[in-house]
């Protein structure tokens, strides 16, 4: 499934999306909340920074633009500085905002958030102040918006309704919009308001209510995820939809279709910093995927991923396709499946490079893992984003080390390496050197132990010719697999050099097998 989703994100293209709804300006005032005010028992914010972001339907439009869609936005702003700022931000994002009208009877909706930092902890929202008028727009303003809708719908691959109950999405405007979409054969998806009457959305193809909105709309309760499926079926019957996605925060999403199919789409645990913008992101991704030809299963799963990434950020934040791809790749199925064959590894390397990650490569036998190995691997991992370990298979180890090696078979050695957090991927190679593997991967960084001279490192010239570099990491003194084997088989149990300051343990009448006489080898090859 993960590979299918990765391919879907990579093939989204640039669909044309029409967004209709309430435009909001989000203002963030940042500062340090270091003490309590002397005037009242409230935190005192020492402001040091202010920024503006687009919210509401404008947020959906900017999210879509950041994800590569061609966006046209329909809505309204006031005759004020905030309205001018909204238009400027839309222009900067490359969003077609020609259909955004100026409203005479209200200011631009503004949400002002105060964000406090304290003792270098994660910043927290302290208070939000809203400046708005929520009454329906005038009939004149509605007519100005609806006059151009038919042409705008005809030019779109999908239409999204972002209703924040600020007056733009009147029942009559939505009826004209939905009917026109049905006539044109263009899907329309709605992110609804909190209301006990969803008749204004009748005829949309899909909607994305959250847990509370779905309960209010139906008068039913979601005590467990399966209850959301029951609610979804009712919404589909009442509103004539082909699908509904009920977002359930930590429980993922309930996806219900008109043909009777339903499922709970799970999400993975996230560190939630701010839920602002999560609903907008779900609508954006679902709309983008459906416009690009995805089915509802893919759209829901990717909506879950993107919504999860959004709550890990402060405020309404934009995501790129690269961020979504990175999350999919990092958490694809088979977390323990870090052991790749050659073909699968090369596909994975390409995906990593496509999202801008730096590839690091090192190799060895890694027969008995010791502290020298783990330190080298940690340092190697710090040199890039994705550390690949090329592992000698059993036959090549025997050729290099002698008939008594390896101590552990290749499957065990690969599994142990894959369990290390620093290691991203393990792949076996059967040749005496990893040259063929290095030529196939062309890593950005090639790593070997510091006991090698640069001219001795296999693959150095190939890597440097492709723009990469060689890094030699100093070895940990006194550690090698061969020495470990000798000490384990030596009846005197000579202490490790690191234990020189401590007395050797006393050995009492322990029979020991003769030393197998393993050949000497350099630690960097272990």
Which stretch of 76-85, 99-108, 495-504 has the lowest confidence by average pLDDT?
495-504
Could you write out the DSSP letters of every residue in 110-143? EEEEEEEE-TTPPPEEEEEEEE---SPPPHHHHH
Residue 314 has a CB neighbour count (10 Å cut-off) of 17
pLDDT at position 328: 77
pLDDT at position 352: 83
Has residue 385 got a pLDDT over 50? yes
Q: Mean of the pLDDT values across residues 47-73?
A: 94
Domain assignments of the chain as residue spans, ordered by start = 2-35+46-329, 342-482
The dihedrals phi and psi of 267, each to the nearest 5 degrees, come to -125, 160
Could you report the per-residue pLDDT of 282-296, keeping only the tens digit for each?
899 999 999 999 999
Mean pLDDT value across the chain? 85
Confidence class for position 252, pLDDT limits 50, 70, 90: confident
Could you report the per-residue pLDDT of 208-218, keeping only the tens digit for each?
999 999 999 99
Q: Which helix (H) or strand (E) holds 34?
A: strand 23-36
Confidence class for position 501, pLDDT limits 50, 70, 90: very low
Higher-confidence position of 371 and 227: 227
258-to-93, 164, 244, 245, 504 alpha-carbon distances in Å: 37, 26, 9, 12, 76
Q: Mean of the pLDDT values across residues 439-457?
A: 92
Please, are residues 92 and 62 in contact by the beta-carbon 8 Å criterion? no
Angle at 86 between CA 81 and CA 92, to 5 degrees: 125
Eight-state DSSP code of residue 147? T
Could you report the per-residue pLDDT of 305-352, keeping only the tens digit for each?
887 777 666 556 677 778 777 777 766 544 446 888 888 889 889 878
Token pair, residue 152, equals 């705008």
Q: In angstroms, rounded to a whole number, what is the distance separating the alpha carbons of residues 236 and 257?
A: 8
Highest average pLDDT, of 163-167, 421-425, 478-482, comes from 163-167
Q: In angstroms, rounded to a whole number, what is the distance separating the alpha carbons of residues 502 and 452?
A: 32
Has residue 25 got a pLDDT over 50? yes
**Edge-to-edge strand order for the sheet containing 262-265?**
100-103, 70-78, 16-21, 158-162, 188-191, 206-207, 243-247, 253-257, 262-265
Which superfamily does CATH assign the domain made up of 2-35+46-329 to?
Answer: Ribokinase (3.40.1190.20)
Q: Does residue 280 have an active-site annotation?
A: yes
pTM, two decimal places? 0.67
Has residue 384 got a pLDDT over 70? yes
Residues 6+ apart with CB under 8 A from 477: 497
Q: How many CA atoms lie within 13 A of 352 on its CB side?
A: 24
Catalytic residue among 280, 327, 367, 393: 280
Could you report the per-residue pLDDT of 361-378, keeping only the tens digit for each?
999 999 888 888 899 999
What does the longest C-alpha to C-alpha distance in the chain come to? Answer: 102
Q: In angstroms, rounded to a whole number, what is the distance separating the alpha carbons of residues 5 and 147?
A: 39
Q: Mean of the pLDDT values across residues 158-178?
A: 97
CATH 3.30.1960.10 is the classification of domain 342-482 = no
Has residue 8 got a pLDDT over 90? no
Could you report the per-residue pLDDT of 259-285, keeping only the tens digit for each?
999 999 887 655 555 456 678 888 999
């Amino acid at each position: 499934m993960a590979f299918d989703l990765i391919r879907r994100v990579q093939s989204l293209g640039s669909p044309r999306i029409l967004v209709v709804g309430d435009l909001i300006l989000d203002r963030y005032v940042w500062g340090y909340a270091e003490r309590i005010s002397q005037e009242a028992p409230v935190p005192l914010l020492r402001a040091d920074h202010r920024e503006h972001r687009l919210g509401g339907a404008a947020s959906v439009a900017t999210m879509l633009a950041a994800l590569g869609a061609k966006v046209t936005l329909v809505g309204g702003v006031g005759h004020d500085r905030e309205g001018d700022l909204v238009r400027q931000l839309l222009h900067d994002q490359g969003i077609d905002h020609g259909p955004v009208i100026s409203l005479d009877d209200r200011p631009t909706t503004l949400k002002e958030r105060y964000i406090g930092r304290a003792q270098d902890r994660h910043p927290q929202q302290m208070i939000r102040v809203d400046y708005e008028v929520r009454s329906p727009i005038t009939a004149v303003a509605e007519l100005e918006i609806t006059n151009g809708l038919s042409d705008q719908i005809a030019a779109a691959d999908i239409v999204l309704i972002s209703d924040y109950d600020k007056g733009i999405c009147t029942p009559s405007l939505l009826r004209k919009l939905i009917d026109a979409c049905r006539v044109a054969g263009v899907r329309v998806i709605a992110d609804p308001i909190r209301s006990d009457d969803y008749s204004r959305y009748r005829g949309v193809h899909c909607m994305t209510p959250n847990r509370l909105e779905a309960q209010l709309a139906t008068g039913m309760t979601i005590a467990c995820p399966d209850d959301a499926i029951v609610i979804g079926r009712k919404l589909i019957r009442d509103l004539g939809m082909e699908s509904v996605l009920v977002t359930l925060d930590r429980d993922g999403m309930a996806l219900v279709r008109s043909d009777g199919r339903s499922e709970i789409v799970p999400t993975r645990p996230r560190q939630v910093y701010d839920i602002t913008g999560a609903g907008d992101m779900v609508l954006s991704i679902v709309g983008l995927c459906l416009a690009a030809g995805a089915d509802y299963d893919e759209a829901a799963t990717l909506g879950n991923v993107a919504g999860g990434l959004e709550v890990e950020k402060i405020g309404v934040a934009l995501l790129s396709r690269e961020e979504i791809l990175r999350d999919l790749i990092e958490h694809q199925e088979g977390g323990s499946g870090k052991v790749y064959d050659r073909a699968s590894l090369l596909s994975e390397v390409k995906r990593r490079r496509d999202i801008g990650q730096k590839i690091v490569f090192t190799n060895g036998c890694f027969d008995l893992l010791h502290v020298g190995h783990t330190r080298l691997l940690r340092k190697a991992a710090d040199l890039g984003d994705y550390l690949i370990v090329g592992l000698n298979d059993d036959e090549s180890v025997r050729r290099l080390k002698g008939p008594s090696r390896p101590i552990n078979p290749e499957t065990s050695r690969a599994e142990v390496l894959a369990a290390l957090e620093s290691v991203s991927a393990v792949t076996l190679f059967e040749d005496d050197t990893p040259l063929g593997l290095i030529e196939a991967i062309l890593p950005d960084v090639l790593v070997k132990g510091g006991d090698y001279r640069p001219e001795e490192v296999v693959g150095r010239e190939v890597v440097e010719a492709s723009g990469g570099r060689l890094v030699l990491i100093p070895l940990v003194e006194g550690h090698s697999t061969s020495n470990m084997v000798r000490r384990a088989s030596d009846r005197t149990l000579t202490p490790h050099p690191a234990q020189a300051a401590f007395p050797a343990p006393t050995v009492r009448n322990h029979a020991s097998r003769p030393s197998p006489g393993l050949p000497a080898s350099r630690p960097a090859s272990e």
